[in-house]
Structure 1
Amino acid sequence: MTQRRLPSGQGPARRPSAARRSPTSGARATTGTKARTRNTGPVRAPSSRRTPGNDGGEAAKRTDAPRPRALTGRATILIAVIVALALAYTYPLRTYLDQETQIAQMEQSQAKQRETIADTAKELEKWQDDEYLRIQAREKYFYVRPGETPLLVYPDPEGAARDADEKAPAAAPDRWYDTLWSSVQAANAEPAN
């Protein structure tokens, strides 16, 4: 029969063998049942294993091994190192993202400046043309070539009507409800016959 080990990892205590017993103990063991109950070895709890005579009896008790702790010391240190690294990398990451945002804004402003420069270059090319200069001088400063008569038109409808001896434009016709109300008032003003 093999001996079971205890959950603590130690094997069972050894019983003294028959060779180590004293001569009187051996004699007692053969004489009767009293000698068998008197053992010098450590007392063991009754075994919960099934024996051939105990087939239909009570179920065997199962002992649970001690559960390991949820967080060991190594796991705690590893988590602390990971948290420290995460905290150490947050500031550089934030700085990196801020710089990326600044770079994008600067690229947009450069694109706008390039568009402005291109528009200004086109305008400069126009001002290099002599015909464009003459057109601008006529429109903005009312310059004329020698021998031309300048003609200026001022938008003044009242002065134009006065000069042409025309009447001012007629007033807008009355609205329908004004006409209706004036007819009601006229009917009311007639004397009763």
Structure 2
Amino acid sequence: MAVKDRDRFSTATRIKLLGEQTAARVYRSQTKRQARRSRLTGRAALLALVVCSLVVALAYPIRQYVSQRAEIAGLERQREQARTRVEQLRDLKARWQDDSYAEQQIRDRLHYVMPGETGYIVIDPDAAKQSRVDQGAGDRPWYTNVWDGVDKADRSGR
């Protein structure tokens, strides 16, 4: 027994025993940690899968909802613009029903005068200068005069 006791209390034996106990504890804690990690990883993967499937399932309907709301807002703006335009046209129609307004417009737009009145048309000085430039049109080729006439007609439409 003395040899056993001596082996039991020797430094080498104690270090060896301590190393084995420590190794066992480390091994147990690693396996527990790995078990915990693997469960957590599985739960996290399942949660990620559920979240992804919800995102995929809801993405299209949400996109449709947002686009439809934008379309509805655009249509409401158009309806309001149309309503405003209808009101303007009703006001204009009511004005044209008034004989004095119609007479004023006819005088202004068509240059009509009442019997006994003398009509005058004031020519814009810039237009007069332009007509002087056109007096020399006989010196240019005919196609230049045609294109100038087309350009003048285009400018007067604006």
* TM-score bracket for the superposition, by shorter chain length: 0.5 to 0.7
Q: Structure 1's 109 and 46: CA in aligned 2 closer, same or farther, altered over 3 A? A: same
The aligned counterpart of 1:97 is 66
> Which structure has more RCO (C-alpha within 8 Å, separation ≥ 6)?
1
Match of 2:55 among 72, 86, 91: 86
Q: Report which of the two structures shows the higher radius of gyration computed on alpha carbons.
A: 1
Which residue type is aligned with residue 44 of structure 2? A
Match of 2:86 among 101, 117, 129: 117
Give yes or no for contact 2:111–2:119 (8 Å, CA) kept in 1.
Answer: no
What is the CA RMSD across the aligned residues, in angstroms?
Answer: 3.4
Which runs of no fewer than 5 residues in structure 1 stay unpaired? Answer: 1-31, 37-44, 49-59, 158-193
The aligned counterpart of 2:104 is 135
Deviations 1:60-116 (A, max 9, x none): 958341212254333322221211111110111111111111111111111211121
Which runs of no fewer than 5 residues in structure 2 stay unpaired? Answer: 6-14, 126-158
2:37 corresponds to 1:69: yes
Alpha-carbon distance in structure 1 between the residues aligned to 2:88 and 2:107: 23
Return the TM-score normalized by structure 2.
0.54
2:126 corresponds to 1:126: no
The aligned counterpart of 2:153 is none
Sequence identity of aligned pairs in percent?
Answer: 30
Alpha-carbon distance in structure 2 between the residues aligned to 1:151 and 1:119: 32
Return the TM-score normalized by structure 1.
0.45
Runs (4+) off by over 4 Å: 32-36, 45-48
Alpha-carbon distance in structure 1 between the residues aligned to 2:120 and 2:54: 80
More helix by share: 2
Alpha-carbon distance in structure 1 between the residues aligned to 2:82 and 2:124: 43
- Count matched residues: 108
